[in-house]
């Protein structure tokens, strides 16, 4: 068995190498893409702004990156699920609680799908959400500050991949088990998968700041629930999930999960689920999970949440149906009208499109071909609206434009295929470099897609940039979709592994940006609002330094009377009240990152000196011509020494 697998891998690698060699040696102008007019199309003159903010998931970086389009310039990294030493996220006392989970404080996760908040099915620019795939969580990022403000854990789940995919008025974010597991967890043989493993589909309340929680969960068979999208317009109230591994294999899934011709798209009627909850048709299950919340000026707090309203489909008729879909579908995308549900059957030869209207009729007529765990399986012919032929090899994801076209990525044939939604016929195709996963049109999964740009998020980079050793940046490609023929405009490298991305017109959020925090509004318990309040206080072994920073000095900047064995808290308030004047603090030997403190905010660095001496600290963010002078000293005496506690600046 092992040998067989090895051969398969060798064959695959050989194929990739061959393809790579071909791609490298035969790069024609057409293959490399772009020309002079393409350069003009993406040229944003110095000092000018891009048209779109694009939010790219950071994949295994655990963060969210923000790019300007059409230039492809990286303009921000927003730390979310991973520690980020650049600004102290997850290291400083204010933010480290944001990484708390019921498993402990976790410094990393795998972030896949950004989702902008929506009103009436249109991105509204209030927040962007993103999922943690590994230890199931969903985060909310405020788009006035570009800071992560809330992270909620998903209990009774595993492999949070079909997430966060939002409903059209931001009522719910969804979550599901890509990895079915024993629910609740228990010690069983893995070979008892079919008997003991199950999945859950969760609905998380999204629309109240600081109150994200799991509204209800639905117990579903032990398949892999992969990707989701909510209904819109007439299909508002429904959410769709692709599944694979209906074979319920528990080993070598790459072979054993691909046996059947069809898997399912699960159609969940969440309004029906709300009724069942209101009528008490659910089981109250034990669950324990955390929610971390941080406001602008305070400390992140972790809250314990408990319990789950678990809906069983057999107790809540009509809450979920299975739509047979060929073959191991990955993406599930709903067109702007809400009528068509496109399944990206990654091993299928055609791209199946289901009709919401036909689905409702099939339910009404009970056109069922079977029932699984209380879930009716609808007849394929009864729900299918059409099949797109020649939609490329390995179709994955589909987005839409404002002219009635759909765009589908084909992973194996490395192309984006454009097809007409009404006729299900392919009208154009463009090669991409290489092996595209998701794609993104600004607004392309909403009720109001745009029609100018498309970004292909490619999984393989190979020869697109100057080589940088074994690891290469992933590659995104910007494509002009305004005309009949798609045109390649630009390659740009991306950080981590962007899976999905979303974009929004710059004017929706650029004027709402917070430029600084008012000192008057600083509610941090260790803030100072003036240099006159700076001081050092000892509380047993804990020493609290109430410090201020302004161009270009700290107060106090000379501190004596610290002893080995003390735990020193530097609470630094940036007294600046202007835009773009952060100060940093780095303390020699501190087992932490620096602090990066925005104007009017307070951050805290903990330092536990290990040996006697005099230790320097300094500002890390170049702040003025006298930035190099922005430094100070802490004198550390032996434990038990009688050095008095003193501090000053400028005396």
Partner 1 sequence: MTLRSTLSLFVLSATLLFSACGGSDSEPAAGQTSEAPTADAGLSAEELEHGIGPIAPFEPGPINAALAERGAELFRMKCSSCHKMDGRYVGPALGNITEERSPAYIMNMILNPQEMITTHPEAKKKFAEFMTPMPNQSLSEDDARAVLEFLRQQ
Smallest gap from residue 626 Cβ to partner 1 (A): 5
Smallest gap from residue 526 Cβ to partner 1 (A): 16
- Distance (Å, rounded) from C-alpha 86 to C-alpha 72? 22
Which of 246, 257, 183 minimizes the C-alpha distance to 377?
246
Can residue 626 be called a binding residue for partner 1 (CB under 8 A)?
yes
Smallest gap from residue 519 Cβ to partner 1 (A): 6
Binder among 468, 512, 578, 648 for partner 1 (CB under 8 A): 578
On the CB side of 399, CA atoms within 13 Å amount to 29
Binding track, positions 70-99, relative to partner 1; x by CB under 8 A: ------------------------------
Smallest gap from residue 550 Cβ to partner 1 (A): 4
Binder among 577, 612, 613, 633 for partner 1 (CB under 8 A): 577
Smallest gap from residue 128 Cβ to partner 1 (A): 25
Smallest gap from residue 202 Cβ to partner 1 (A): 43
Binder among 258, 295, 302, 529 for partner 1 (CB under 8 A): 529
- Distance (Å, rounded) from C-alpha 125 to C-alpha 365? 41
Segment interacting with partner 1, rule: CB under 8 A, options 25-33, 221-229, 544-552, 564-572: 544-552
Binder among 295, 357, 552, 631 for partner 1 (CB under 8 A): 552
Residues in contact with 272: Cβ distance below 8 Å, sequence separation at least 6, in sequence order: 316, 318, 319
Binder among 121, 136, 442, 582 for partner 1 (CB under 8 A): 582
Number of residues that bind partner 1 (CB under 8 A): 30
CA dist list (Å): 388 to 297, 344, 483: 52, 11, 21
Segment interacting with partner 1, rule: CB under 8 A, options 2-10, 68-76, 382-390, 615-623: 615-623
Binder among 301, 459, 551, 635 for partner 1 (CB under 8 A): 551
Six-digit token pair at 418? 């454009």
- Distance (Å, rounded) from C-alpha 607 to C-alpha 92? 11
DSSP letters, 457-506, are EES--TTSS---SS---EEEEEEE-SSSS-EEEEEEEESS----EEEEEH
Measured from the CB atom, is 412 or 516 closer to partner 1? 516
Residue position matching structure tokens 């059947």: 260
- 200 touches 221 (CB < 8 A): no
- Distance (Å, rounded) from C-alpha 248 to C-alpha 222? 7
- H or E, element range at 142: strand 137-142
Segment interacting with partner 1, rule: CB under 8 A, options 161-169, 333-341, 536-544, 618-626: 618-626
Which of 200, 205, 227 minimizes the C-alpha distance to 282?
200
Smallest gap from residue 144 Cβ to partner 1 (A): 16
Smallest gap from residue 527 Cβ to partner 1 (A): 11
The residues with which 431 forms a beta bridge, in sequence order, are: 415
Segment interacting with partner 1, rule: CB under 8 A, options 339-347, 371-379, 455-463, 550-558: 550-558
Of residues 458-517, those binding partner 1 (CB under 8 A)? 516
Can residue 580 be called a binding residue for partner 1 (CB under 8 A)?
yes
- Distance (Å, rounded) from C-alpha 560 to C-alpha 546? 14
CA dist list (Å): 423 to 315, 386, 582: 40, 8, 55
- 435 touches 462 (CB < 8 A): no
Can residue 532 be called a binding residue for partner 1 (CB under 8 A)?
yes
Segment interacting with partner 1, rule: CB under 8 A, options 68-76, 342-350, 459-467, 525-533: 525-533
What is residue 36's three-state secondary structure?
Answer: helix
Residues in contact with 9: Cβ distance below 8 Å, sequence separation at least 6, in sequence order: none
**CA end-to-end distance (rounded Å), the chain:** 77
Binder among 111, 316, 555, 597 for partner 1 (CB under 8 A): 555
Measured from the CB atom, is 486 or 572 closer to partner 1? 572
* Ordered alpha helix ranges (H), 78-233: 193-196
Measured from the CB atom, is 483 or 650 closer to partner 1? 650
Can residue 593 be called a binding residue for partner 1 (CB under 8 A)?
no
Binder among 47, 469, 640, 644 for partner 1 (CB under 8 A): 47
Residues in contact with 46: Cβ distance below 8 Å, sequence separation at least 6, in sequence order: none
Six-digit token pair at 311? 């809906």
What is residue 192's three-state secondary structure?
Answer: helix
Smallest gap from residue 623 Cβ to partner 1 (A): 5
Which of 235, 205, 213 minimizes the C-alpha distance to 155?
213
Can residue 586 be called a binding residue for partner 1 (CB under 8 A)?
no
Residue 166's CB is within 10 A of a number of other CB atoms, namely 29
Can residue 624 be called a binding residue for partner 1 (CB under 8 A)?
yes
Measured from the CB atom, is 454 or 596 closer to partner 1? 596
What is residue 528's three-state secondary structure?
Answer: coil
Measured from the CB atom, is 518 or 648 closer to partner 1? 518
On the CB side of 165, CA atoms within 13 Å amount to 27
Measured from the CB atom, is 214 or 549 closer to partner 1? 549
Binder among 40, 254, 471, 520 for partner 1 (CB under 8 A): 520
Smallest gap from residue 455 Cβ to partner 1 (A): 27
Can residue 45 be called a binding residue for partner 1 (CB under 8 A)?
no
Measured from the CB atom, is 90 or 582 closer to partner 1? 582
Six-digit token pair at 336? 């702007």
CA dist list (Å): 556 to 541, 550, 562, 598, 630: 20, 12, 14, 19, 11
Smallest gap from residue 529 Cβ to partner 1 (A): 5
Six-digit token pair at 492? 């740009």
Smallest gap from residue 552 Cβ to partner 1 (A): 6
Segment interacting with partner 1, rule: CB under 8 A, options 79-87, 214-222, 235-243, 523-531: 523-531
Smallest gap from residue 589 Cβ to partner 1 (A): 25
Counted residue by residue, the chain has a size of: 651
Segment interacting with partner 1, rule: CB under 8 A, options 166-174, 433-441, 502-510, 622-630: 622-630
Binding site for partner 1 (CB under 8 A): 47, 516, 518-520, 529-532, 548, 550-553, 555, 575-578, 580-582, 621-627, 650
């Amino acid at each position: 068995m092992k040998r067989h697998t090895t051969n398969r891998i060798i064959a695959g690698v050989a194929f990739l190498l061959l393809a790579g060699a071909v791609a490298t040696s035969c790069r024609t102008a057409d293959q490399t893409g772009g020309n002079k007019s393409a350069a003009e199309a993406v040229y944003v003159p110095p000092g000018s702004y891009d048209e779109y903010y694009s939010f790219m998931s950071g994949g295994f970086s655990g963060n969210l990156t923000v790019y300007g389009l059409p230039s492809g310039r990286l303009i921000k990294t927003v730390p979310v699920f991973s520690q980020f030493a650049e600004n102290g996220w997850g290291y400083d006392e204010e933010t480290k609680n944001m990484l708390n989970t019921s498993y402990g404080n976790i410094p990393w996760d795998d972030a896949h799908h950004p989702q902008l908040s929506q009103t009436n099915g249109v991105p509204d620019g209030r927040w962007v959400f993103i999922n943690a795939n590994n230890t199931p969580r969903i985060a909310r990022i405020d788009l006035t500050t570009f800071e992560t403000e809330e992270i909620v854990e998903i209990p009774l789940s595993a492999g949070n991949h079909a997430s966060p995919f939002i409903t059209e008025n931001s009522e719910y974010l969804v979550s599901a088990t890509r990895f079915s597991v024993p629910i609740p967890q228990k010690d069983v043989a893995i070979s008892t998968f079919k008997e003991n493993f199950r999945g859950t589909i969760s609905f998380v309340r999204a629309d109240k700041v600081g109150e994200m929680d799991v509204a209800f969960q639905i117990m579903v068979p032990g398949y892999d629930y992969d990707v989701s999208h909510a209904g819109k317009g007439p299909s508002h109230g429904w959410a769709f999930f692709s599944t694979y591994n209906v074979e319920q294999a528990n080993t070598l899934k790459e072979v054993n999960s691909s046996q059947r011709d069809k898997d399912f798209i699960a159609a969940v009627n969440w309004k029906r689920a709300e009724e069942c909850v209101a009528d008490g048709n659910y089981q109250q299950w034990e669950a324990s999970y955390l929610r971390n919340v941080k406001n602008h000026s305070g400390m992140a707090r972790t809250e314990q949440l408990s319990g789950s309203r678990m809906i069983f489909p057999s107790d809540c008729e009509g809450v979920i149906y299975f739509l047979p879909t060929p073959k191991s579908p990955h993406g599930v995308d709903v067109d702007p009208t809400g009528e068509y549900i496109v399944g990206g059957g990654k091993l299928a030869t055609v791209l199946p499109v289901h009709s919401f209207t036909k689905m409702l009729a099939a339910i009404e007529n009970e056109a069922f071909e079977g029932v699984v765990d209380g879930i009716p399986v609808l007849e394929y012919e009864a729900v299918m609206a059409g099949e797109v032929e020649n939609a490329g090899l390995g179709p994955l994801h589909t987005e839409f434009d404002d002219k009635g076209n759909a765009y589908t990525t084909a992973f194996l044939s490395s192309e984006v295929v454009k097809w007409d939604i009404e006729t299900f016929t392919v009208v154009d195709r463009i090669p991409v470099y290489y092996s595209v996963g998701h794609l993104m049109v600004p607004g392309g999964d909403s009720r109001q897609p745009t029609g100018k740009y498309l970004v292909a998020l490619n999984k393989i980079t190979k020869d697109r940039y100057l080589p940088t050793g074994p690891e290469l940046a992933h590659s995104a490609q910007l494509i002009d979709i305004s005309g009949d023929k798609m045109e390649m405009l630009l390659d740009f490298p991306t950080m981590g592994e962007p899976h999905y991305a979303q974009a929004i017109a710059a004017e929706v959020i650029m004027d709402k940006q917070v430029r600084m925090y008012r000192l008057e509004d600083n509610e941090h318990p260790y803030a100072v609002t003036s240099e006159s309040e700076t001081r050092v206080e000892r509380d047993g072994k804990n020493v609290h330094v109430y410090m201020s920073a302004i161009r270009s000095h700290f107060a106090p900047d000379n501190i004596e009377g610290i002893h080995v064995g003390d735990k020193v808290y530097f609470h630094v308030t940036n007294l600046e009240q202007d835009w773009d004047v952060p100060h940093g603090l780095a303390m020699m030997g501190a087992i932490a990152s620096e602090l990066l403190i925005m104007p009017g905010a307070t951050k805290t660095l903990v330092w536990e000196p290990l040996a006697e001496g005099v230790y320097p600290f300094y500002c890390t963010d170049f702040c003025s011509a006298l930035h190099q002078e922005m430094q100070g000293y802490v004198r550390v005496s032996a434990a038990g020494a009688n050095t008095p506690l003193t501090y000053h600046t400028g005396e």
